[in-house]
Amino acid sequence: MALRNILQEGDPTLNKQSRPVTDFNARLHELIDDMRETLLHADGVGLAAPQVGVLRRVVLVMDTDREDATPEEQLIELINPEIIAASGEQIGPEGCLSIPGVYGIVNRPDLVKVKAQDRFGNYFEVWGSMLTARAFCHELDHLDGVLFRSLASEILSPEQLEEMRQQHEENMDEGSGS
């Protein structure tokens, strides 16, 4: 395994369409293993192959709904993913490893169901809610060359982001009381 360089906004590769994976071979497995290491190292919630310069439909998403799992266990590998159901709405801050330090308000569904293949080509379906749902949408957008900045209704200043985080924490505190 090796760390790969994460492309930054402005690199034209990030605006290109990625092609479906057709060969579930050792080369794909090497790409996925490198992406796992790169994502864990960057401490992100998702990573798409075009972000490491490979225009193939491969993404990783951290399933943060599984709170008891380790980061390694939370990683979901999605090959040729498609959103097959979505419901609800969440309006909140979103960031990207390719646009470090920038956060914007993006409207996303709060529950999505994704159909994908695993690294061996087997089909499976997975649900994600809240942050995981947002990460599914964000990473799948990367496969179509879309960055969150083009979807954001507003780009947040560092002060606005901090204020939002504090509000979020207060809500969490209220929610976690028994």
Question: What is the nearest approach in angstroms of Zn ion to the Cβ of residue 35?
Answer: 13
- The residue type of 118 is D
Shortest spacing between CB 97 and Zn ion, in angstroms: 6
Give the pair of three-digit tokens for residue 167: 């509000």
- Positions marked active-site: 139
Biggest alpha carbon distance in the chain? 50
Report in angstroms how near the CB of residue 156 gets to Zn ion at its nearest: 16
Nearer to Zn ion, 45 or 116 (CB): 45
Cβ-closest residue to Zn ion?
96
Range list of β-strands (E), 20-164: 46-48, 58-62, 75-87, 90-94, 104-108, 111-117, 123-129, 154-155
**Is residue 52 a contact residue for Zn ion (CB under 5 A)?**
no
SS3 46: strand
The pattern of x and - marking residues 78 through 117 that bind Zn ion according to CB under 5 A reads ------------------x---------------------
Name which of 39 and 96 has its Cβ closer to Zn ion. 96
Question: Could you tell me how many helices (H) and strands (E) the chain has, helices first?
Answer: 4, 8
Q: Which is nearer to Zn ion, 41 or 167 (CB)?
A: 41
* Residue 68: CB minimum distance to Zn ion, A: 26
Distance of CA 136 to the CA centre of its chain: 5
Expressed in percent and rounded to 5, the helix, strand and coil fractions of the chain are 35, 30, 35
Question: Which of 96/116 has CB closer to Zn ion?
Answer: 96
Would you tell me which residues interact with Zn ion (CB under 5 A)? 96
